């Protein structure tokens, strides 16, 4: 079973505009809203591929109820810890030239009692058939070493862990020795203290160093350039494919979904990475943070090139 953990979920409002004018009136067009947060996006995409997951984390107030009701409509099982504070609402503005501006609220304050309730819930779900996805930002009231704390708790019960976070959450989370990780180029450059755009060779060296820290799969997303995938035995490059892009929001979450869905089924590595890149490319073509259709995923999967390095 796949359990996605979204500590700071949101309702994502996405609006289109010809060009954002700072300091002036902007009239938004084609306003959409979706339930979001990285783990929830992973659960939505897994469902689109025909898989199942349990979405958990924190939900509060009317926004939290909307998230849980929407998940139920999607047919996605959820088991959130109710909190007193209101779950956040985020705004994403997509300009005609493809530039995306994200205005994300900080999120609610979570109490120590609410955090303990989630911790016990995760331990309850942990077993040797479970894969946890710890993804995204955290609300106020929680320290940025939370992933470092939670990962060993579920791993000691036999579960596998996929970590998708950035900055200090990623750096400290790595100390918990997650099994699978998906940093992007910028996150790796920050983690390794590089103040320039690193080469592919440097990215591969960084990925190999992360394998030495205990991960068995390192997926390095490169945006429209594709992705690199490293295990202790193999290194694979998948160049990006050309699609009609609408928004890059959620593309990384879709890649995580493709990987964790394949890993849960024991799929061979090449098929695993082809699905991950196809799902990510498909997510770029959708509006808001909606996942691509199963039909589109299969179509794009046939276009993925796999290069052994």
Angle, helices 146-155 vs 112-125, to 10°: value is 30
Between the alpha carbon of residue 109 and those of residues 8, 172, 177, 188, 274, the distances in Å are 10, 21, 27, 29, 39
Angle, helices 167-174 vs 146-155, to 10°: value is 40
CB-based burial, 97-136: b 16+ in 10 Å, e otherwise: eeeeeeeeeebbebeeebbeebbebbeebbeeebbbbbbb
Helix, strand, or coil here: 227?
strand
Instruction: Report the C-alpha gap between 58 and 137 in whole angstroms.
Output: 12
**CB atoms closer than 10 angstroms to residue 157:** 14
Dmax (CA) of the chain: 55
Q: Which two tokens stand for residue 260?
A: 């964790």
Helix, strand, or coil here: 99?
coil
Q: Catalytic annotation on 253?
A: yes
Active site residues: 253
């Amino acid at each position: 079973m796949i359990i996605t953990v979204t500590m700071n979920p949101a309702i994502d409002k996405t609006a289109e505009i010809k060009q954002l004018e700072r300091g002036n009136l902007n009239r938004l067009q084609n306003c959409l809203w979706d339930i979001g947060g990285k783990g929830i996006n992973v659960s939505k995409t897994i469902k689109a591929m025909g898989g199942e997951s349990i979405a958990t984390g924190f939900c509060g107030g009317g926004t939290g109820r909307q998230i849980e009701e929407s998940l139920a409509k999607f047919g996605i099982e959820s088991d959130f810890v109710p909190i007193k504070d209101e779950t956040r609402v985020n705004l994403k503005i997509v300009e005609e030239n493809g530039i995306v501006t994200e205005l994300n609220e900080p999120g609610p304050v979570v109490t120590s009692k609410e955090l303990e309730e989630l911790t016990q819930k995760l331990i309850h779900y942990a077993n040797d058939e479970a894969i946890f996805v710890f993804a995204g930002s955290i609300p106020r009231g929680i320290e940025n070493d939370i992933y470092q704390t939670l990962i060993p708790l579920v791993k000691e019960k036999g579960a596998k862990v996929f970590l998708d976070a950035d900055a200090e959450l990623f750096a400290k989370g790595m100390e918990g020795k997650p099994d699978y990780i998906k940093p992007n180029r910028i996150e790796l450059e920050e983690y390794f203290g590089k103040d320039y755009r690193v080469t592919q060779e440097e990215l591969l060296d960084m990925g190999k160093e992360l394998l030495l820290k205990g991960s068995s799969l390192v997926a390095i997303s490169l945006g429209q350039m594709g992705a690199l995938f490293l295990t202790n035995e193999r290194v694979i490059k998948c160049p990006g494919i050309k699609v009609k892009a609408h928004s890059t929001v959620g593309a990384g979450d879709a890649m995580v979904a493709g990987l964790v869905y394949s890993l849960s089924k024991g799929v061979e590595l090449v098929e695993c990475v082809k699905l991950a890149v196809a799902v990510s490319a498909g997510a770029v073509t959708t509006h808001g943070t909606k996942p691509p259709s199963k039909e589109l995923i299969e179509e794009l999967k046939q276009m993925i090139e796999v290069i052994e390095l």
